[in-house]
Copies of this chain bind each other. A is one copy, B any other.
């Protein structure tokens, strides 16, 4: 499993660079700024989930690496914009200076804009699927990334700054901010691989559990994690009076909820055989997250 993860991660790294550098850029600094964040490492979890979902449906997931790169571009753009002075105003990300600390807030805004736009171009480069499937993926991604998905969740986050919010609003925020893109990754992998309706439904339930478990364990990490490993200061949520699953539920109850959610996600995969083992492993690994 560890080996599969690593080999897929390497595949993502090399393809990201290829998709980014497809053509000579109009402005070199802009391309540099895009590459700075896109090629800065990271877990590459979204493309890995996309490929693993295709595996589960019975098609080699690496065939869809192109669409995997597209979703990683969306994720990277969202990090660049989140870090901006007008948003979270973060100086470091994955132990490196944030994009605007290196290129300035104007260029960082543009680098994010360009990565989001490029992601749609890259989705269309996906080979070996019908036009109808390609369109379904564009629809999936645009809905997940936009007003009622990732950007919507980010807006709730921005408006909730420094104040306690109810658990239901917190859930909505994360459904948008991180859940929607995980869901789109997994559903896109399934759509590309030609999943049947029941398979798509099962994978969607898995995806929703994955998103929730990811967020709860992310909140737990902010309290229990190691600063050097996660690449940002510990306890920042509490200092910033941010509502999290830990502050609203207690550490113990948050841990229990994470375990229950993982169990639900595994149960959702019941219709699949061992071709879904990687998906199972990815979900279980959240409970032991170090970063």
Q: Is the CB of A148 within 8 A of B106?
A: no
Q: Is the CB of B118 within 8 A of A120?
A: no
Which residues does chain B contribute within 8 Å of A152, judged by CB atoms? Answer: 25-27, 30, 114
Given that A31-B147, A148-B23, A148-B25 are contacting pairs, would A139 and B124 also be in contact in the complex, using a CB cutoff of 8 Å?
yes
**C-alpha gap A130/B172 in the complex (Å):** 36
The answer to whether the Cβ of A151 comes within 8 Å of any Cβ in the partner chain is: yes
Please classify the interface of chain A as helix (H, G, I), strand (E, B), loop, or mixed, using the class held by over half of its residues.
Answer: helix
**C-alpha gap A176/B110 in the complex (Å):** 13
Contact with B along A272-290 (1 / 0, CB 8 A): 0000000000000000000
A86 to chain B, nearest CB (A): 4
Interface residues of A in 110-129 (CB under 8 A from B): 110, 112-114, 116-118, 120-121, 124
Q: Is the CB of A106 within 8 A of B142?
A: no
Q: Is the CB of B26 within 8 A of A153?
A: yes
Q: Which candidate, A56-64, A155-163, A207-215, is the interface stretch facing chain B?
A: A155-163
Range, interface on chain A? 35 or more
Q: Is the CB of A109 within 8 A of B138?
A: no
- Interface residues of chain A, those whose CB is within 8 Å of chain B, are 23, 25-27, 29-31, 34, 81, 84-87, 100, 104-110, 112-114, 116-118, 120-121, 124, 130-132, 134-135, 138-139, 141-143, 145-149, 151-156, 158-159, 172, 176
Other A-B pairs, 20, CB within 8 Å; known A27-B176, A118-B142: A26-B148, A26-B155, A29-B155, A30-B155, A81-B109, A85-B86, A86-B108, A107-B155, A109-B109, A110-B151, A110-B158, A114-B151, A114-B152, A114-B155, A117-B142, A120-B141, A120-B142, A131-B132, A131-B134, A134-B135
Q: List 30 A-B contacts (CB under 8 A).
A: A23-B148, A26-B148, A27-B147, A29-B159, A30-B151, A30-B152, A81-B109, A81-B110, A84-B106, A86-B104, A86-B106, A106-B158, A107-B158, A110-B155, A112-B113, A113-B151, A114-B146, A114-B151, A116-B117, A117-B145, A117-B147, A118-B142, A118-B146, A120-B120, A121-B139, A121-B142, A121-B143, A124-B142, A131-B135, A135-B135
